[in-house]
Structure 1
Amino acid sequence: MDSDTQDTPQSIPFRLSGNSVGYKSFARPFVGTLFQDLMERSGTELGTRGMHRFTDAHLLYVLCLCGSGRISRQELSDATGIGEGAVRNMLSCLRRMGLIETTRRGNGLTPEGMRIRDMTGIVMPEYEVSGIVEGECNYVLLAHGKGYLLDNSIAYRDAAIRVGAKDCMMIRMDDGKVTSPYRDSVELRYPDLSELAETIGMRDGDAAAICGADNVQTASSSAFGGMIKLISKTR
């Protein structure tokens, strides 16, 4: 990475939803280490200028979306809230790492991409949540088998906020009980999440991120921010 530009953000337009346009820049585009490691192993170089409009959390989001079936660039833009130009850059980066392939039918995962996706344990439940954390829209992201990584650090919430969340609660399940280690450590109250856990298929040993933001694109992208920070601990 180009260290001379890493801390010099630029204001670049990005799509929030519909035809609305906002401005967002990411001075430090790497929230976790997952893609830094993959880039190093594959010899892929990506200067910070190539990531002004997105973070590695968005890369992980796009990777997982490509794993749900062939998907177009426009569909990826609509889901993530990132403009098509930035999505094009993300797809190019993922292709250079050997994680996706692009055909006329859309973008999908390669065998290596499937391996990385499966390694993360991430599942995107099709379940709408609201009122759990601050933000008009709440989004929950599940990671099977990653609960053992979750401690009482505030770093996961901070990672989600860097991607745009207003708030993020990381939870895990042990012996059928859902807890939030950070909130427990600072004695912050939170609702009983057992019904949510059952609905999304959360099991003992799993972790989940619940993020809130002004729109679902930012809430979902920021959930990947909290999660990539967590799963990077396994690298």
Structure 2
Amino acid sequence: MSCLAVDENEFLQLLIAFDEMSSSSSDEEEQKERPRKRPFKHRKSKGVVMFRDDDGELKVLPPTMSLWYNMYCQTGCQERMSDFHSKFRRRFRLPYDQYRELVEMCTADSMKEDGTSLFKRWRPGKKAALTGKPAAPLELLVLTTLRYLGRGWTFDDLEECTAISEEVIRVFFHQFIKFGSTTLYNKYVGPPLTVEDAIDLCIREYEAAGFPGMPLIFPML
């Protein structure tokens, strides 16, 4: 009798398991056959600034067609305006030639292959992993940092002028601060090596404070 009881229990368990499998398979078939209430949404290309082409179609404006790129980043842009250099210096607190040098330094950093690059994601010719579109130009990103530091603009303000999202600008800004505190600092900042160098460096500060000639009187304390 005990053996029969065990066999009956096993048989009941098999029936329950079979019933669960059949019900789950039927539910899956019903879900497949059931019509979808809402159609699948197709993702549209997102952009910061939109424009209409010659055919009237609305498209995303690439950063290479933005206002700042046309004004400051194209080859020969400095030859279009007679007062280009003075306006650039006033707007970005940096001479145009030094700006180009800074862009070259950032570009060289982005080409590093030793894992120390801060700007690898914006390497020229590199495409974004998710969208497959070209990365934001380093020329524009450097301009956003200069304007942010020089005039206190917000990332949202910079987004309007460059057609680059404020999140990308924010991420680049923090990377640029690291770049400035390491590469730029080590290259341009250092103590004077001689007394003459120390006098030359601080004489302007004394003159601006109204004490001309003080470094010559007290060269070393």
**TM-score by structure 2 length?**
0.29
- Greater relative contact order (CA < 8 Å, ≥ 6 in sequence): 1
Greater CA radius of gyration, 1 or 2? Answer: 2
The answer to which structure has the higher strand fraction is 1
**TM-score by structure 1 length?**
0.28
